[in-house]
C-alpha cells in the first residue's frame, strides 16, 4: 500500500480533467497485463523493496506535475533513473501496484515515458509479443487539431437528444493547419507534421533511450551507430521531399550565433491545455537557458563540438574509465562510429567521456526549444524541439540534425573507401530490376493523399469517469496523409556459382538530380540515398526470377501498427495465434505511407540502386533479417537481439570513394574511376541501377 505522510503532502494530487487527455492507454494496458500475468508463468522471483520504490518515486517527484516533461532535458532524465530501474526489476505481479502508487505523485508524462520504456524492454512483454497502443490514441491533441471536439461535444450536450449522445463523434484535423504557403518551409509541412513519422521518432527513442542505469535498456547492440543512421535517413528522406517541392536541401545549423530564419508555430498542446507548446518567431537566436532549475550554455555547444572534431581528426578519443582515469583510445572500425554516436547523443554510460565531450545533441534540442524565453520572464513553455513526439514538426529539427550528421560523417569521410572485395559478390549477376505498380507503365509509382481515421476514444474520454449513457461510444479523428500505390520489385538474377547460395538484397533510391538539376557525384549522392528494403533471398544455380512487395519493406511498418489502438492491442494480446503471427510487431518503424516521397505531377526522376551481398558474410548469429516481416529491422533492429546485419549501417553508401568526381556508375565498376585511365572499368555485377519516376496526383483517396 502507498505510504502516507511526508511525500503525499509535498506533492499535489492529480487534477481530474474530463475532456483532455487524462487517460493513459500505456498505463491502463500495463495494469491489465499485470493482472493477467499474476496467474501466469511470467511471475519473476525477483523484486524490489518498498523503500527502493519510495526513494525512486521521491526522486521522480522533483519534476513538478505541471512541468512539460522533456526527454531531451537531462535534468528531467536524471529524475527518471531510479523509477526506470524499479519498474524494470519489480516483479510483474507488483508492477500494477507500483505504477498506481507512482501515478499519485509523479509527473504524468514522466511516468508515461518510464512505463513505455519498460514496456519496450521487459522480457515478459517482448517475448510474449505484447503490443502497446500508439501514443496518438492516448494523446491525440499532441498530433491533431482537436479544437473542434469540445464544441462538438458541447453542442450534443445542449442540443442533442439522449440517443444521439452516444453516437460516435468524428472530427476532421486538416493536415496543414499550422501555416500557409507564404512560408516556403510550409511546402513540406505534410512531411514534418505527419503523425506517423512523429510516432516513429518517439518510439525509436523509447527503444533506444540515451539515459538510465539499467544496462538491459541502455546498452543495446550498435545503439550509437543506429542513432546516426536512423536520423541520417530521416534527413535523406526530408531532403528528397524538399527537392520534390523545389526547395534546396536543408542547410545545417552550425553557427550558433546566427539568427534562426525558420519559424515554427505548433498550435498543439501536450496532454492538457495548460501545456501549450510555445512558438518560435523568425530571427530567434540561441541564448543561455536558465529557468525551472536548469542551466544550459550556448558556449558549451562550441566547447564540446571542438573536442569531438579534435578527436575525429586525431583519431584518438580521451576515454574516461570507471575509476576516473583517462586513457587515449584509437578510433577504429567497426566500433568507433557506434562510440561516437553514443558520445554525441550523448549516453553517459556509453560515451567515451561524458564529462569531457558533454551532451551536444540533446543540449542543442533544449537550447533551441527555449530560445524564445530562456529565462522564463514571459512564463512561456518550451517549444517542440524539446519533445520527442513533436520535434520532427519543426524545420529546425532538420537543420540541427544536418549539423549533427555532418559532425559524425566527418569520421566516415576519413575511412578507407570500400575496395572490390567489400563490394563484389563473385558470380552473382543482377540482370534486371523493374518496379511494377500495376498501372501498365513500368518504373512509375503514383502518389496522392489518403483520408484515414484513427480511433482516439481512449485519449479523450476517461471511460471510467463518464457515464456510458452520456458519452459518445467512440471518438475518431479524420486526417489526410501522403500515400503511394503499392508496388512490386521484379528481379532477374543469375547465380553462376557451382551451388545455391543466399544473398542479401539491399534496395535504395535517391533523387536522380540535385537542386541545380545536375547529376550528383557519388560523394554527394551517398547522403541522399534512402534505404527502401533489405531482405535475404535463396539463389539457386542459374537464372532466378523473384519478386518482392513494397509492403514487405524492412524500413516501414503497416498503418495499423503505427496507429495501434488499445482495443486492437488487447485483442492481439488475448489471441496467442495472432500474437505469434505478428512476431516482433511493434510501433517502432517508418510509417509505410511514406515509404517513398511525394514526387512531382510530371513524374519526378529517381535513381534505383540494388546490390546483393553474401549472406554468409553478413549474417549475425542469434538474429536474422526476416524474409517479409512487419517490423522495421533497418531502423529499429530486432527486439532484444543483435542488429541483424553485420555490415556498417547504410552500406555501401556509409563512406565516400576516393575520386571526388566519380558518380554512381563509376562506383559500380571495379576500379571506381570515372575515366578510363587504362585500368579496369569492368562493372561489378552484383550491383544494378536504373531510373524510375514518382508521379504526384493532387487528389484524395479514401482509406
Binding footprint of ligand CUO on the chain (CB under 6 A): 201, 205, 231, 361, 365, 391, 401
Distance of closest approach, residue 572 Cβ to ligand CUO, in angstroms? 27
| Residues 57 and 101 sit within 8 Å (Cβ to Cβ) | yes
Of 368 and 505, which has the nearer Cβ to ligand CUO?
Answer: 368
CA pair distance 177, 189, nearest whole angstrom: 9
Cβ of residue 275: shortest distance to ligand CUO, in angstroms?
Answer: 20
Closest among 385, 390, 324 to 353, alpha carbons compared = 324
Name the pairing type of β-strands 488-495 and 289-291: unpaired
**Shortest reach from residue 363's CB to ligand CUO, in Å:** 11
Unique residue bearing C-alpha cell 456510458: 468
Alpha helices in 3-92 (DSSP H): 6-10, 25-38, 50-60, 74-78, 81-89
The smaller minimum CB distance to ligand CUO, of residues 95 and 391, is found at 391
Instruction: Tell the smallest beta-carbon distance from residue 180 to ligand CUO (Å).
Output: 27
Grouping H, G, I as helix, E, B as strand and the rest as coil, residue 2 is coil
385 vs 608, beta carbon nearer ligand CUO:
385
Q: To the nearest whole angstrom, how small is the minimum distance from the Cβ of residue 382 to ligand CUO?
A: 14
Is the CB of 101 or the CB of 398 nearer to ligand CUO?
398
Contact 381, 275 (CB under 8 A): yes
* C-alpha dihedral sign at 509, 514, 518, 522: negative
C-beta atoms surrounding 332 within 10 Å: 9
Return the residue matching grid coordinates 517482448. 126
**Which CB sits closer to ligand CUO, 205 or 211?**
205
Contact 373, 380 (CB under 8 A): yes
8 Å CB contact between 589 and 632: yes
- Which string of DSSP letters, residue by residue, matches 320-360? EPTTS-EEEEE--TTTHHHHHHHHHHT-TTTSS-HHHHTTH
Least distance (Å) from ligand CUO to the CB of residue 365?
6
Looking at beta carbons only, is 37 or 208 nearer to ligand CUO?
208
Closer by beta carbon to ligand CUO, 391 or else 445? 391
Quick one: 191 or 479, whose CB is closer to ligand CUO? 191
Query: Is the CB of residue 346 less than 8 Å from the CB of residue 300?
Result: no
For residues 101 and 635, which CB has a smaller minimum distance to ligand CUO in the complex? Answer: 635
For the bound state, the minimum distance from the C-beta of residue 397 to ligand CUO, rounded and expressed in Å, comes to 7
In the bound state with ligand CUO, the residue whose beta carbon lies nearer, of 394 and 514, is 394
Q: Residue 449: in which H helix or E strand, if any?
A: strand 444-455
Of residues 122 and 201, the one with the C-beta less far from ligand CUO: 201
Cβ within 8 Å of residue 21, ≥6 positions away = 138, 139, 140, 141, 142, 271, 272, 459, 460
Cα–Cα distance between 66 and 556 in angstroms, integer? Answer: 36
**Nearest to ligand CUO of 201, 695 (CB atom):** 201
Residues 193, 198, 204: CA angle, nearest 5 degrees: 160
Closest approach of Cβ 210 to ligand CUO, in Å?
9
Q: Which is nearer to ligand CUO, 635 or 653 (CB)?
A: 635
Residue nearer to ligand CUO on the CB measure, 346 or 447: 346
CB of 408 to ligand CUO, least distance (A): 12
Closest approach of ligand CUO to the CB of residue 234, in Å: 8
Task: Please give the residue whose beta carbon sits closest to ligand CUO in the complex.
Answer: 391
C-alpha cell at 341: 554516436
Tell me the C-alpha distance between 454 and 166, whole Å.
18
Q: How far is the CB of 341 from ligand CUO (least distance, A)?
A: 11
The SS3 assignment for 185 reads helix
Q: How far is the CB of 87 from ligand CUO (least distance, A)?
A: 23
Shortest Å distance, C-beta 361 to ligand CUO = 6
Pairing of strands 326-330, 294-296: unpaired
Cβ contact 95:36 at 8 Å: no
The length of the chain, given as a count of residues: 703
Bond before 334 cis per omega within 30 degrees:
yes
- Burial track 255-271 (b if 16+ CB lie within 10 A, e otherwise): eeeeebebbbbbebbbb
Burial of 636 (0-12, 13-18, 19+ CB in 10 A): buried
| Closest distance of CB 277 from ligand CUO, Å | 16
Amino acid at each position: 500500500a502507498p505510504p502516507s505522510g511526508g511525500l503525499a503532502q509535498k506533492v499535489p494530487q492529480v487534477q481530474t480533467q474530463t475532456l483532455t487527455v487524462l487517460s493513459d492507454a500505456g498505463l491502463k494496458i500495463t495494469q491489465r497485463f499485470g493482472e493477467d500475468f499474476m496467474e501466469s508463468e511470467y511471475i519473476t522471483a525477483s523484486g524490489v523493496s518498498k523503500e527502493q520504490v519510495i526513494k525512486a518515486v521521491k526522486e521522480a517527484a522533483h519534476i513538478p506535475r505541471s512541468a512539460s516533461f522533456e526527454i531531451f532535458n537531462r535534468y528531467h532524465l536524471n529524475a527518471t533513473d531510479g523509477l526506470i530501474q524499479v519498474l524494470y526489476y519489480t516483479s510483474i505481479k507488483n508492477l500494477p501496484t507500483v505504477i498506481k502508487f507512482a501515478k499519485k505523485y509523479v509527473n504524468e508524462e514522466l511516468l508515461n515515458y518510464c512505463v513505455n520504456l519498460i514496456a519496450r524492454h521487459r522480457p515478459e512483454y517482448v517475448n510474449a509479443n505484447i503490443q502497446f497502443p500508439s501514443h496518438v490514441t492516448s494523446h491525440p491533441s499532441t498530433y491533431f487539431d482537436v479544437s473542434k471536439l469540445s464544441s462538438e461535444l458541447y453542442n450534443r450536450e445542449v442540443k442533442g437528444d439522449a440517443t444521439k449522445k452516444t453516437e460516435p463523434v468524428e472530427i476532421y484535423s486538416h493536415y496543414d493547419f499550422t501555416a500557409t504557403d507564404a512560408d516556403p518551409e510550409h511546402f513540406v509541412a505534410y512531411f514534418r507534421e505527419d503523425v506517423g513519422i512523429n510516432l516513429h521518432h518517439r518510439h525509436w527513442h523509447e527503444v533506444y533511450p540515451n539515459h538510465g542505469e539499467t544496462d538491459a535498456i541502455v546498452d543495446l547492440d550498435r545503439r550509437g551507430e543506429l542513432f546516426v543512421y536512423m536520423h541520417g535517413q530521416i534527413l535523406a528522406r526530408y531532403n528528397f521531399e524538399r527537392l520534390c517541392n523545389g526547395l534546396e536541401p536543408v542547410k545545417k545549423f552550425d553557427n550558433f550565433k546566427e539568427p534562426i530564419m525558420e519559424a515554427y508555430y505548433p498550435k498543439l498542446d501536450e496532454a492538457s491545455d495548460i501545456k501549450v507548446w510555445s512558438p518560435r518567431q523568425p530571427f530567434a537566436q540561441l541564448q543561455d537557458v536558465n529557468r525551472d532549475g536548469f542551466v544550459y550554455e550556448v558556449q558549451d555547444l562550441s566547447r564540446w563540438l571542438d573536442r569531438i572534431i579534435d578527436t575525429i581528426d586525431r583519431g584518438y578519443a580521451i576515454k574516461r574509465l570507471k575509476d576516473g582515469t583517462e586513457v587515449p583510445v584509437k578510433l577504429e572500425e567497426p566500433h568507433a562510429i557506434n562510440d561516437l554516436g553514443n558520445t554525441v547523443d550523448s549516453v553517459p554510460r556509453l560515451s567515451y567521456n561524458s564529462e569531457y565531450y558533454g551532451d551536444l545533441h540533446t543540449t542543442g534540442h533544449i537550447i533551441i526549444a527555449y530560445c524564445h524565453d530562456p529565462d522564463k520572464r514571459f512564463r512561456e513553455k518550451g517549444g517542440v524541439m524539446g519533445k520527442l513526439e513533436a520535434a520532427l514538426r519543426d524545420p529546425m529539427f532538420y537543420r540541427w540534425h544536418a549539423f549533427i550528421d555532418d559532425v559524425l560523417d566527418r569520421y566516415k569521410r576519413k575511412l578507407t573507401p570500400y575496395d572490390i572485395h567489400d563490394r563484389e559478390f563473385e558470380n552473382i549477376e543482377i540482370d534486371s530490376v523493374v518496379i511494377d505498380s500495376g498501372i501498365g507503365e513500368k518504373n512509375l509509382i503514383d502518389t496522392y493523399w489518403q483520408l484515414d481515421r484513427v480511433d482516439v476514444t481512449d485519449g479523450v474520454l476517461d471511460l471510467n469517469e463518464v457515464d456510458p449513457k452520456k458519452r459518445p461510444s467512440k471518438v475518431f479523428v479524420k486526417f489526410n496523409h501522403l500515400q503511394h500505390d503499392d508496388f512490386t520489385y521484379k528481379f532477374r538474377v543469375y547465380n553462376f556459382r557451382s551451388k545455391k547460395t543466399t544473398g542479401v538484397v539491399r534496395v535504395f533510391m535517391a533523387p536522380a538530380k540535385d537542386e541545380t538539376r545536375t547529376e550528383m557525384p557519388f560523394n554527394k549522392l551517398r547522403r541522399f540515398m534512402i534505404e527502401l528494403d533489405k531482405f535475404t533471398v535463396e539463389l539457386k544455380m542459374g537464372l532466378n526470377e523473384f519478386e518482392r512487395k513494397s509492403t514487405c519493406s524492412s524500413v516501414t511498418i503497416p498503418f495499423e501498427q503505427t496507429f495501434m489502438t488499445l482495443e486492437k492491442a488487447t485483442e492481439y494480446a488475448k489471441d496467442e495465434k495472432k500474437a505469434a503471427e505478428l512476431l516482433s510487431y511493434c510501433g517502432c518503424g517508418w510509417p509505410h505511407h511514406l515509404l517513398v516521397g511525394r514526387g512531382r505531377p510530371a513524374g519526378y526522376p529517381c535513381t534505383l540502386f540494388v546490390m546483393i551481398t553474401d549472406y554468409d558474410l553478413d549474417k549475425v548469429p542469434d538474429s536474422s533479417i526476416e524474409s517479409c516481416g512487419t517490423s522495421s529491422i533497418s531502423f529499429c533492429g530486432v527486439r532484444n537481439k543483435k542488429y541483424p546485419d553485420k555490415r556498417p549501417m547504410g552500406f555501401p553508401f556509409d563512406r565516400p570513394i576516393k575520386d571526388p568526381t566519380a558518380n554512381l556508375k563509376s562506383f559500380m565498376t571495379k576500379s571506381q574511376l570515372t575515366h578510363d585511365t587504362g585500368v579496369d572499368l569492368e562493372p561489378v555485377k552484383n550491383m544494378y541501377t536504373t531510373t524510375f519516376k514518382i508521379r504526384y496526383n493532387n487528389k484524395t483517396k479514401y482509406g
